[in-house]
């Protein structure tokens, strides 16, 4: 009642909106998200959202930004403690997948929206987003220099590995992986194959 530090019930409506939107995203998906539903879920009028965000797009952009930042931090931390490029690549893959599975709401808006449907996501933010890919590019380059990989172009391979991880997360989130396959085993195999795919080939294919 007296003071309102920084995480009191007061004032952080903006925070509440972001969190609620995240939860709704995971429960109902982007398509079924509406300003009214968000408002109802937080117990405020729809108008109130506009006090904190310029509109639906701005709200989602803010969420995407948060997701990108969080992913960035997680990848950074994962890369930090790795001893060699291979271990580092493995850690990055694992972290990316974990992030996607743990934050499906972020994942959907960050990676699964067709850009044509999310109008005008500021290009400057896209650049920042893509910086997450650089983690993979750097470690591939490094490993290549040390003769651990057999890739042609670190940038290209970073993208294909990303594609592989993205597919893995997408299928898991969509529950499209055969139920008879154990989740952890699927993930581990996907990672192993991704890394193995960068190895110097034993025979030409």
Q: Which residues bind DNA (CB under 7 A)?
A: 4-5, 11, 13, 32-37, 43-48, 50-51, 55-57
Question: Minimal distance in Å, beta carbon 11 to a copy of itself?
Answer: 17
Q: Who contacts 155 (Cβ-Cβ below 8 Å, separation ≥6)? A: 137
- The region of 7-15, 40-48, 67-75, 107-115 touching a copy of itself under the rule CB under 8 A is 107-115
Name which of 48 and 128 has its Cβ closer to DNA. Answer: 48
Measured CA to CA, the distance from residue 19 to residue 6 in angstroms comes to 16
The residue among 11 and 167 lying less far from DNA, judged by its C-beta, is: 11
Closest to 161 measured CA to CA, from 126, 200, 190: 190
* DSSP-assigned states of every residue in 33-84: --HHHHHHHHTS-HHHHHHH-SSHHHHHHHHHHHHHHHHHHHHHHHHHT-SS
Task: Give the 3-state secondary structure of residue 128.
Answer: helix
DSSP structural state of residue 175: T
198 binds, among DNA, a copy of itself, none (CB under 5 to 8 A by kind): a copy of itself
Show the site string, 155-194: x = touches a copy of itself by CB under 8 A, - = not.
xxx-xxxxxxxxxx-xx-xxxxxx-xx---xx--xx-xxx
Site stretch for a copy of itself (CB under 8 A), options 14-22, 25-33, 58-66, 71-79:
25-33
Tokens of 12: 């952080």
C-alpha–C-alpha distance, residues 96 and 78, integer Å? 10
| 46 part of the interface to a copy of itself, by CB under 8 A | no
Footprint of a copy of itself (CB under 8 A)? 28-29, 31-32, 86, 90, 111-117, 130, 133, 151-153, 155-157, 159-168, 170-171, 173-178, 180-181, 185-186, 189-190, 192-203, 205
């Amino acid at each position: 009642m007296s003071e309102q530090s920084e995480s009191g019930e007061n004032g952080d409506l903006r925070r509440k909106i972001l969190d609620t939107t995240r939860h709704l995203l995971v429960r109902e998906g982007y398509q079924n998200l509406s300003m009214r539903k968000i408002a109802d879920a937080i117990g405020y009028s729809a108008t109130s959202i506009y006090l904190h965000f310029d509109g639906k797009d701005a709200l989602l952009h803010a969420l995407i930004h948060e997701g990108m930042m969080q992913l960035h931090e997680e990848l950074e931390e994962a890369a930090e403690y790795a001893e060699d490029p291979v271990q580092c690549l493995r850690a990055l893959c694992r972290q990316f997948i974990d992030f996607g599975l743990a934050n499906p709401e972020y994942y959907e808006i960050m990676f699964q929206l067709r850009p044509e449907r999310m109008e005008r996501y500021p290009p400057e933010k896209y650049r920042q987003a893509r910086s997450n890919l650089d983690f993979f590019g750097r470690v591939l380059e490094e490993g290549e220099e040390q003769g651990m990989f057999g890739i042609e172009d670190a940038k290209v391979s970073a993208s294909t590995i990303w594609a592989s991880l993205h597919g893995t997360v997408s299928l898991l989130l969509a529950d499209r992986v055969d139920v008879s396959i154990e989740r952890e085993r699927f993930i581990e195999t996907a990672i192993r194959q991704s890394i193995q795919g960068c190895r110097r080939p034993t025979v030409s294919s």
